[in-house]
Structure 1
Amino acid sequence: MSLRDLPVFGPTEVLDDEGITPEVIVRTDVALSREQLAAALGIAFSDIAADQDPEQLTVLQTRTEIEGMLTAGGIVSIDNLLARDQDTEFTAERRAVMDALRRAVDRAYPADTSERPPVHKQDPRYREGTVTLDTVDHGEVTVDEPAWCIGHDDDTVGYLADVTHNGAPVTAPIVTGRYGPSKIMTARISHAPHAVELPEPFPLLSVELDAHGDLDPADGHNLARALRLAAVRVERLVAELEAVRRAEQ
């Protein structure tokens, strides 16, 4: 069997190095044996998911972890070379070569200088149980509008697959002496019924968590209280989500 006859999977998601500002996305195909796939998953699983039952790994989780492991190795190697080069005094000849290499990169991966299409704000038209929206790929569409959705007046015109119904946000605030007031959680009921890459046949719980920093004991107690509040509010929202799902079945 030739390489072109092999099944192709991925990329499942775009992986990046959090320490840099990305400018392009580079995609590459790697032919692997099942033993290599299992080894990559084994390393990732032992690092971040050792407390999870491997039998419960979803297809999305498995592919994401394997692709992440393959990508991480390359990024770490590149970062190590960059760190080494920062401490190296290059000759004029070597600097000229590196400048030429940068120009080669610019030719191979040109910056997006094309004029981006203007961003248009939605002008939703609501009817009983429906809303009419504009899309860039299907024109004007009329879709079901659930009662729990807060509307689309602040949305921008995008693809049909990106049309998302969002419920009212539920937050968990925290105030610390070091960082002041902030939110450690924002959650809501959400549903993108026309999503293609990651289909959403039913509404989901959309959650954003933000908690990091160095805390003294008093702020540690503040964090614990905020987390307990977040847990209570998530439980209530999950109950609402379950009711929404039952009503739609």
Structure 2
Amino acid sequence: MKTSLLFTLLFFKFILYAQCSFTYTTVTPSCGSQCDGKITITVNGVGPFTATVDGVLMNQVGTSNSFEVDNLCGGDYIVEIVDATNCTSVDTITVEPWLPIQINLSVTQTTSSPTACDGKIYCLIIDQFSINSTLANWYNCDDSTEVSVSIIGNSSTGFCAGNYYARILNDFGCTRAYSDCISIGTLSIEESKDKEIQVFVKNGGLHVSIDYANLTVYDLNGKQVFYTNSENNSIADLPLGLYILKINSTDDKYYTIKFVKD
């Protein structure tokens, strides 16, 4: 009986000591070109512990079972811990890098006249990270000088006719990206005469008789009310009325045509 009990206790002790593991958290680098990411781990097992990242000792912080390493770039790192019983636990931890963000600019209001500075541009930012990306500044594409416009959220107002690009910041105040240039000006309501183009609305969709790269529809006040660069050409939500259609053809030519949705 005593022998059996002793064996049971020793066996239990072996199992307990043979189990070790760790949990971890990561911090993404604050800016795309910086290496200030971090890995922090909490170890379970029998201390004291040794913890390494890619073979380099981690720094012990706070309690005896917490370790961290900083100044990391985005990438994969091999973390290994060894406890007092020589139990080893290894895992590959990914510090997420900054991935490219997508910036889509669209003119929502053309200038009311060639000399007016009342144009509006909307900036759609698609970011894969939870850290916010914010529209911060606008610049002139011709000389890269900053332009003074009113920025509220993703919408900006006060553009003169010209070409502009945007700068996007993250919560750390770092530049995440610059957008491509977009042109804004006064919408001409003079129709193109150099090409016969058929425009018609059928089953809620806007159709043209030439191959297009994109279609932009404006109301008579010059406000952009529809845009597509795909086969999604539904204008079912547009009220009935007269509109101005700007066609960018696949051979990179532009045509302006009036059409009626009735």
| Structure index of larger Rg | 2
Higher helix share: 1
TM above 0.5, yes or no, is: no
What TM-score do the two structures reach when normalised by structure 1?
A: 0.19
Higher strand share: 2
